[in-house]
Structure 1
Amino acid sequence: MLCTLLGILTTGLAGALVGVTMEMHDSLTWVDHSSQVLRSANRVVSTLREAESGQRGFILTQNPEFAESVERALGSARREAATLARLTADNPTQNTRARQIETLVGERIAILQASARLTGNGSFVAARDFVATGRGLMLMQLVDGKIGDLVLDERDLAATRMDKVERLLRVILWLAAVGTPLTLLFLVMMARSLIRRIRQPAGAMIEVMGQLGAGERKARITGDMGSSEFSQLAQGYNAMADELELALADQVKAHDNLEAANDALSHNAQTLRERGEVIEILGGMAHRMQAARTDEELAAIIRVFVPRVLPHIPGALYVHNNSRNLLVATATWGGLELAQGNFAPEECWALRRGQSHFVDEPGSDIVCPHVGSQTDHYHCEPLLAGGEVIGVLYLKGTIDTENRFRLAVLSENIASALVNHRLQRGLREQTIRDPLTGLFNRRYLEETLSLEIARASRSGAPLSLVMCDVDHFKRFNDEFGHDAGDQVLQTVAAELRRRFRDGDVVCRFGGEEFVIIAPATDATVLQARVEEVREAISLVTVRQGGRTLGSVTMSFGVATWSDGMDREGAMLVKTADAALYAAKRNGRNRVVVDATALAA
């Protein structure tokens, strides 16, 4: 009977244990189900955050590597949202939230895809403006809120189910404790063994839970749990802890990505500010260069502004001469000492190739002959305008990436200014030059004479004027025609231009008459010089085509300005003309100096 009682007791105890175990198995299944729900919810957020980070990085840095992962992340987010809705089908409240989350995720994905289409078309500014509306941020906040509510409730469900497991464990312990005194010693030993097998994994789980609650994210249930249920529970718990750790890691990673994107944005903003300052400087430089009237003014502007655009980089500007057979140094800055002031175009590889040429270190590339012995590092930038090379910028130094932008816009501005300056100078030359002889015309004479008189009046330096004309000029027109007369004027003009000083201003007054303004020269000195010119012209034989027109002589009248004369120069011209008339009257081919000038 005892055996029967023991059998009944054992059977009842076994049946009770089986029932409790099955109930605990169901509870463990639901705990694992909660773990799956939490894992899917965390994946929804993490994949959506990954897509946001990739799209934001692409907008900020315009690096296509960021865009490659966006579509994959969006697909994962959509699948995880659908999975979450499927997993919560047994819980109407959670399933409602999951459906709402799926809808919000779909809206957020649509916004990200719209932004991706803008960036894919290269409309980064429009994409930033689109992001700046805040619609995406609001949707993400709604997603975070719904996910947070779902996670909190699911964790409560998981905790309730874990409590139920623990209660069932306590029931098992109670059943084992009551049945133990009534069973045989073998059953007692088996019961004690069973209790140890239960207490060990439960204790391990409780200990690990405590460690995780204390902040040890790496705490996991390890070792043999003694049963498949506890092993499954341990696996589910470990998987839940892994997902939690991954979620926290994703959060840290997203934070790091945001910081990196912010750093990149700050760097880009700084670069844009610096480029804006450079463009402002170049605008001031271009405005001044457009107003420059002489090559010296243009060179002064370049010397002032180029070091501000390219600081700490000395250099020089070379421009083609009129014959385009030489590059002439127009301006230097930064204390640069040039190996040679002028050089032929073929001595610069940048001009040969029509593109930048530079040497970063000795032996890295071919050295331009015009550079000289200092060949360790330099940069030659050709100045192009309308497909024409008009000069070159020579820079003594290495041009880094940011300075290449500055150099490009600087070169474009200088090239445009040089072309504009050349056109202005050409137009001015057309207005002040005599088209037949190439000498200055009467208009220029009148402007220059009044300026030189004002300068002489201030400084006290002498100012003299020579008026001359070709003797018997009408004979050439009558005998050989007007073309021959033009040839005579051109020959005489060339000789006058060659014989007088560079500082003297040689003009055609009209017809066969010429005027020479001689600053800082008195009549005595000028008379000797004019005599040399007169004699040289008398030795010239004029030729036209294949015929000889004969020799030419000229008569000269010299006068010097005095304080009693007007400031416009009319009296000075009249005095020189009277001296010229005297030379004509006294036999031509001679120099007559105004008596007043000689007396002074």
Structure 2
Amino acid sequence: MVGSLSRRIVVLCVILSLVLALLAGLLLDASAQMRASLGWVTHSSQVLEVSTRTLRHLQAAESGQRGFLLTQNLDFATSVADEVAAARRDADTLVQLTSDNPLQNERARQVQSLILQRTQVLTETGRLARAGDFSAARDHVASGKGRYLMMLVNARTNDLLEAERALAAERMQTVQARLDNIRWLVVFGTPIAVILITFMATALIRRIRRPVDEMMAVMGQLGAGDRSARVTAHMDSSEFERLAQGYNEMADELETAVADQLVSADQLHHVNAELSRNADVLRERGEVIELLGGMAHRMQAARTDEELAAIIRVFVPRVLPDIPGALFAHNNSRNLLIPIAAWGGIEVEAAGFAPDQCWALRRGQSHFVIDQGSDIVCAHIGHDTDHYHCEPLLAGGEVIGVLYLKGVVEAENRFRLTVLTENIASALVNHRLQRGLREQTIRDPLTGLFNRRYMEETLALEIARTLRTGSPLSLVMCDVDHFKRFNDEFGHEAGDAVLHAVAAEMRARFRDGDVVCRFGGEEFTIIAPGSSAAVLAERVEVVRQAISELTVHQGGRMLGLTTMSFGIATWEDTMERDGSTLIKAADAALYRAKREGRNRVVLDGRAESLAA
């Protein structure tokens, strides 16, 4: 029966763990016994030391007593008291140390009793001497009682010391014996454990190496090209049996796969060719997308129609090479397709064409003519072109423009055309939105004139230009006379109608280069680059006269006579460059016109005025 290699490894580990645990247990027990024996040896040493010290203190007390009796020096008496106290303490300690041994404890108690008696005799003799009765003290010593007690103390102490030395020798022999046991345990136990581990490991390695060698040999045959090589030898463990079975199954599948490889080689060749073609297409499309990305990024950043046209002229011929064309954008106010840009030598009508003249815009999809008579020709093309392509630009169902190409767009360029039209349509929508937002930020919503913010920015730019070129720059400040009357008598809607009519008249009368702005309320400002105050006054007079002849109606009623007062100032080098001084000068001229009777034009710094 095939055993489990994992189970064998587990059994080996358990046996090794038990051997090591047994060896460690024996060493720990021997170590504990050794520690206990050393403790007893140390205890015996303490008993011997205390016994000797006790006897030494008692002998020192006797010597001090004799010195005191002979010299009558109190210093000897002091040392006697100290030594007596030390001897009694050591005798008490000796009794405590021998409490574990009844026989020794009895000897220690006898020594303690004799020392107490001897110290009492010493104390009595010392008392007589300190009282000055040295004769009685000597007689007390001469009685021999102290000598007898000291002999007994020495005898009993020697008995205790001899017995304790014998115990210490016995305990040292026990320590030595236990040291020998530990040494033999290490000497014999360690080799036995090593031999056992080596034997078991060798047996396990043999059981692993043989099946591994067998499988490596079969794998070598397979690597050499023998696809029929299989593991047939008997394995010694269930793990290697499963591994051999898995290897044989893998070899069977590999043999089948190799057989199928020849069948699929031709298919792979065709697939590889197709992938190569697709890679070329993807690479080309990637280049187109990268090119269109650059174009889209620039178109999104374009601020004017000229910039947008320049971008179209640069990038479209690169996306669709060798195909001339033109881009038309839808003008909502005129409902015409107006040309923005043309390339490839094409000339287009600047007036543009109506949306219904292009079949691509009518159908909302591509319209092209490949050969003469193959399809209907758009009216905006004419009849002298036998091949062209119109691509509508739509966004949300709304006409944005149309891309006209003079030529045939081949199938490989359809992707380029699709992505191109999407980018251009998105850019035109964005450009239209940006232009609308800019118009909202710089236009007054009531009159349609430029607002005060735009006026201040433009005035600063014109002043900078005047400083560079030296050309004159004039400013007109004007407002509607008695404007409050219109609001009070007819309401604010009537006042709005007057402002709207006045603004329309000024926008129509002033030249294109003049910037007409609503300064605020009923007050207006006109920036006139390149005009002096004297020349500008003639144009302003024409405007003033035309406004005075206006007839404004609102809600079916006539609002009455409308007049305006005008103040004109010309830029001078002494003025502030932000235009504030020029505005104040024109405003001062306007104030003079009001003060002099209204409905007139007044020049700053001049006494004359032009009456209505």
The two structures have a TM-score, normalised by structure 1, of 0.56
Q: For 1:402, which of 408, 412, 428 is the aligned residue?
A: 412
Offset at 1:430?
2.0
Q: Cα gap change, 1:279/1:465 in structure 2, threshold over 3 Å: closer, same or farther?
A: same
Q: Contact 2:388–2:404 (CA<8 Å) still a contact in 1?
A: yes
Q: For 2:363, which of 331, 348, 353 is the aligned residue?
A: 353
Q: Cα gap change, 1:484/1:311 in structure 2, threshold over 3 Å: closer, same or farther?
A: same
Q: For 2:531, which of 518, 521, 526 is the aligned residue?
A: 521
Offset at 1:516?
1.2
Q: Name the structure 2 match of 1:548.
A: 558
Structure 2 matches for 1:318-329, cutoff 5 A? 318-323=328-333, 325-329=335-339
* Corresponding residue SS for 2:280: helix
- In the alignment, the residues of structure 1 paired with residue 371 and residue 566 of structure 2 have an alpha-carbon distance, to the nearest angstrom, of 63
Offset at 1:540?
1.3
Amino acid aligned to 2:357: E
Structure 2 matches for 1:107-122, cutoff 5 A? none
Q: For 2:317, which of 302, 307, 317 is the aligned residue?
A: 307
2:285 is equivalent to residue 275 of structure 1: yes
Q: Name the structure 2 match of 1:582.
A: 592
Amino acid aligned to 1:540: L
Structure 2 matches for 1:153-552, cutoff 5 A? 261-323=271-333, 325-552=335-562
Q: Cα gap change, 1:592/1:373 in structure 2, threshold over 3 Å: closer, same or farther?
A: farther
Q: Cα gap change, 1:597/1:265 in structure 2, threshold over 3 Å: closer, same or farther?
A: farther
Offset at 1:408?
0.9
Q: Name the structure 2 match of 1:143.
A: 259
Offset at 1:332?
1.9
Q: Cα gap change, 1:376/1:494 in structure 2, threshold over 3 Å: closer, same or farther?
A: same
Q: Contact 1:339–1:371 (CA<8 Å) still a contact in 2?
A: no
Amino acid aligned to 1:143: A
Q: Cα gap change, 1:567/1:333 in structure 2, threshold over 3 Å: closer, same or farther?
A: farther
Q: Contact 2:309–2:341 (CA<8 Å) still a contact in 1?
A: yes
Offset at 1:341?
3.5
Offset at 1:504?
2.0
Q: Cα gap change, 1:317/1:556 in structure 2, threshold over 3 Å: closer, same or farther?
A: same
Amino acid aligned to 2:258: L
| Per-residue deviation, residues 567-586 of structure 1 (Å, max 9, x unmatched) | 21111111111222222222
* Corresponding residue SS for 2:572: coil
Amino acid aligned to 1:530: V
* Corresponding residue SS for 2:508: helix
Q: Contact 2:566–2:602 (CA<8 Å) still a contact in 1?
A: yes
- In the alignment, the residues of structure 2 paired with residue 395 and residue 596 of structure 1 have an alpha-carbon distance, to the nearest angstrom, of 63
| Per-residue deviation, residues 153-186 of structure 1 (Å, max 9, x unmatched) | xxxxxxxxxxxxxxxxxxxxxxxxxxxxxxxxxx
- In the alignment, the residues of structure 1 paired with residue 423 and residue 434 of structure 2 have an alpha-carbon distance, to the nearest angstrom, of 16
Q: Name the structure 1 match of 2:133.
A: none
- In the alignment, the residues of structure 2 paired with residue 319 and residue 577 of structure 1 have an alpha-carbon distance, to the nearest angstrom, of 44
* Corresponding residue SS for 2:375: coil
Q: Contact 2:369–2:387 (CA<8 Å) still a contact in 1?
A: yes
Q: Contact 1:523–1:597 (CA<8 Å) still a contact in 2?
A: no
Identity of paired residues, percent? 73
Offset at 1:265?
3.2
| Per-residue deviation, residues 403-462 of structure 1 (Å, max 9, x unmatched) | 221111111111111212222222222222212112111111111111122122223232
* Corresponding residue SS for 1:343: coil
Q: Contact 1:467–1:556 (CA<8 Å) still a contact in 2?
A: yes
Q: CA RMSD in A?
A: 3.0
Q: Cα gap change, 1:138/1:451 in structure 2, threshold over 3 Å: closer, same or farther?
A: farther
Amino acid aligned to 2:431: H
* Corresponding residue SS for 2:602: strand
Offset at 1:522?
2.8
The two structures have a TM-score, normalised by structure 2, of 0.55
Amino acid aligned to 1:270: D
Deviant stretches of 4+, over 4 Å: 137-141, 257-263
Q: Cα gap change, 1:369/1:541 in structure 2, threshold over 3 Å: closer, same or farther?
A: same
Q: Contact 1:379–1:398 (CA<8 Å) still a contact in 2?
A: yes
Q: Cα gap change, 1:551/1:335 in structure 2, threshold over 3 Å: closer, same or farther?
A: farther
Offset at 1:260?
5.7
Amino acid aligned to 1:302: I
Q: Cα gap change, 1:536/1:339 in structure 2, threshold over 3 Å: closer, same or farther?
A: same
- In the alignment, the residues of structure 1 paired with residue 456 and residue 255 of structure 2 have an alpha-carbon distance, to the nearest angstrom, of 80
Q: Cα gap change, 1:139/1:488 in structure 2, threshold over 3 Å: closer, same or farther?
A: farther
- In the alignment, the residues of structure 2 paired with residue 138 and residue 297 of structure 1 have an alpha-carbon distance, to the nearest angstrom, of 66
Q: Name the structure 1 match of 2:215.
A: none
Q: Cα gap change, 1:551/1:397 in structure 2, threshold over 3 Å: closer, same or farther?
A: farther
- In the alignment, the residues of structure 1 paired with residue 270 and residue 534 of structure 2 have an alpha-carbon distance, to the nearest angstrom, of 82
Offset at 1:596?
7.9
Amino acid aligned to 1:142: V
| Per-residue deviation, residues 471-519 of structure 1 (Å, max 9, x unmatched) | 1111111211111011100111111112222232211001100011122
Q: Cα gap change, 1:260/1:526 in structure 2, threshold over 3 Å: closer, same or farther?
A: farther
- In the alignment, the residues of structure 1 paired with residue 537 and residue 386 of structure 2 have an alpha-carbon distance, to the nearest angstrom, of 56
Q: Contact 1:583–1:591 (CA<8 Å) still a contact in 2?
A: yes
- In the alignment, the residues of structure 2 paired with residue 583 and residue 459 of structure 1 have an alpha-carbon distance, to the nearest angstrom, of 31
Amino acid aligned to 1:452: E
| Per-residue deviation, residues 105-140 of structure 1 (Å, max 9, x unmatched) | xxxxxxxxxxxxxxxxxxxxxxxxxxxxxx9x9777
Q: Contact 1:339–1:372 (CA<8 Å) still a contact in 2?
A: no
- In the alignment, the residues of structure 1 paired with residue 299 and residue 472 of structure 2 have an alpha-carbon distance, to the nearest angstrom, of 35
Q: Cα gap change, 1:583/1:280 in structure 2, threshold over 3 Å: closer, same or farther?
A: same
- In the alignment, the residues of structure 1 paired with residue 335 and residue 255 of structure 2 have an alpha-carbon distance, to the nearest angstrom, of 69
Q: Contact 2:227–2:255 (CA<8 Å) still a contact in 1?
A: no
Q: Contact 1:560–1:597 (CA<8 Å) still a contact in 2?
A: no
Q: Contact 1:318–1:331 (CA<8 Å) still a contact in 2?
A: yes
- In the alignment, the residues of structure 2 paired with residue 597 and residue 502 of structure 1 have an alpha-carbon distance, to the nearest angstrom, of 30
- In the alignment, the residues of structure 2 paired with residue 538 and residue 466 of structure 1 have an alpha-carbon distance, to the nearest angstrom, of 17
Higher-Rg structure is 2
Q: Name the structure 2 match of 1:215.
A: none
- In the alignment, the residues of structure 1 paired with residue 277 and residue 589 of structure 2 have an alpha-carbon distance, to the nearest angstrom, of 77
Larger displacement relative to structure 2 (589-598 or 322-331): 589-598
- In the alignment, the residues of structure 1 paired with residue 312 and residue 375 of structure 2 have an alpha-carbon distance, to the nearest angstrom, of 28
| Per-residue deviation, residues 237-274 of structure 1 (Å, max 9, x unmatched) | xxxxxxxxxxxxx99xx76x766654443332222111
- In the alignment, the residues of structure 1 paired with residue 360 and residue 519 of structure 2 have an alpha-carbon distance, to the nearest angstrom, of 46
- In the alignment, the residues of structure 2 paired with residue 487 and residue 139 of structure 1 have an alpha-carbon distance, to the nearest angstrom, of 96
- In the alignment, the residues of structure 2 paired with residue 525 and residue 597 of structure 1 have an alpha-carbon distance, to the nearest angstrom, of 17
User: What are the ranges of 5 or more consecutive residues in structure 1 without an aligned counterpart?
Assistant: 1-95, 101-134, 148-249
Larger displacement relative to structure 2 (261-270 or 571-580): 261-270
User: What are the ranges of 5 or more consecutive residues in structure 2 without an aligned counterpart?
Assistant: 1-225, 231-250
